[in-house]
């Protein structure tokens, strides 16, 4: 049986020592679907929500969430973030808005939790911005889409199209 890295010899939770690992470039992308009605999506895209500029608030909340990850998630290492980007994409077929976040660093450990936290906080901020129009908004499918760097290299969820890769997103 493989030894669990976040447990000490007595089975207690501990922070992993990454001090002996060389810093490398690392990147992660995460996403979530915030499901809402077509009317709420229309108000969001048209800029007519009662609380104002939701996309700007959502992007800033996601960036702030990534920066606070080590405070919110007990065993995460504080990381120097080189870049955090948050994007909102209307997904009418899924009945909502997809929030996608990218986090980049040069560190001895991965940046997946920062990307996931960015998406989670951005999703909550979006709910806060639209709750005056619709109370039943939900967050679904919060997940890691891509990670690269470090010893394990590249991992990508099947079917994921990277909005920050110009050759994939059509930019």
What are 34-71's pLDDT values in tens digits?
999 999 999 999 999 989 999 999 999 999 999 999 99
The yes-or-no verdict on residue 165 having pLDDT over 90 is no
Residues belonging to the active site? 128
**Residue 57 domain boundaries:** 24-150
Q: Does residue 13 lie within any of the structural domains?
A: no
Residue 72 has pLDDT above 60, yes or no: yes
| Residue 80 within any structural domain of the chain | yes
Least Cα distance to 108 among 144, 74, 151 occurs for 151
* pLDDT tens readout for residues 105-157: 999 999 999 999 999 999 999 999 999 999 999 999 999 999 999 888 999 99
Q: How far apart are CA 155 and CA 153, in angstroms?
A: 7
Q: From the CA atom positions of the chain, what is the Rg in Å?
A: 18
Q: Which residue carries 């690392």 as its tokens?
A: 26
Return d(Cα 18, Cα 15) in angstroms, integer: 9
| CATH classification at residue 136 | 3.30.70.640
Q: How many structural domains are present in the chain?
A: 1
Residue 163 domain-assigned (yes or no): no
pTM: 0.90
């Amino acid at each position: 049986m493989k030894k669990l890295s976040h447990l000490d010899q007595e089975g207690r939770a501990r922070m992993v020592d990454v001090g002996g690992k060389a810093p490398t470039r690392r990147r992660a992308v995460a996403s979530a679907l915030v499901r809402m009605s077509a009317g709420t999506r229309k108000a969001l895209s048209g800029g007519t929500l009662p609380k104002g500029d939701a996309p700007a608030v959502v992007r800033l909340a996601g960036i702030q969430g990534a920066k606070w990850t080590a405070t919110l998630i007990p065993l995460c290492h504080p990381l120097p973030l080189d870049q955090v980007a948050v994007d909102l994409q209307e997904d009418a077929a899924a009945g909502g808005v997809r929030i996608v976040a990218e986090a980049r660093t040069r560190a001895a450990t991965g940046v997946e939790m920062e990307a996931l936290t960015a998406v989670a906080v951005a999703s909550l901020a979006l709910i806060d911005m639209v709750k005056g129009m619709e109370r039943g908004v939900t967050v679904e499918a919060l997940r890691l889409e891509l990670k690269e760097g470090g010893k394990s290299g590249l991992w990508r969820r099947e079917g994921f199209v990277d909005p920050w890769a110009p050759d994939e997103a059509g930019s």
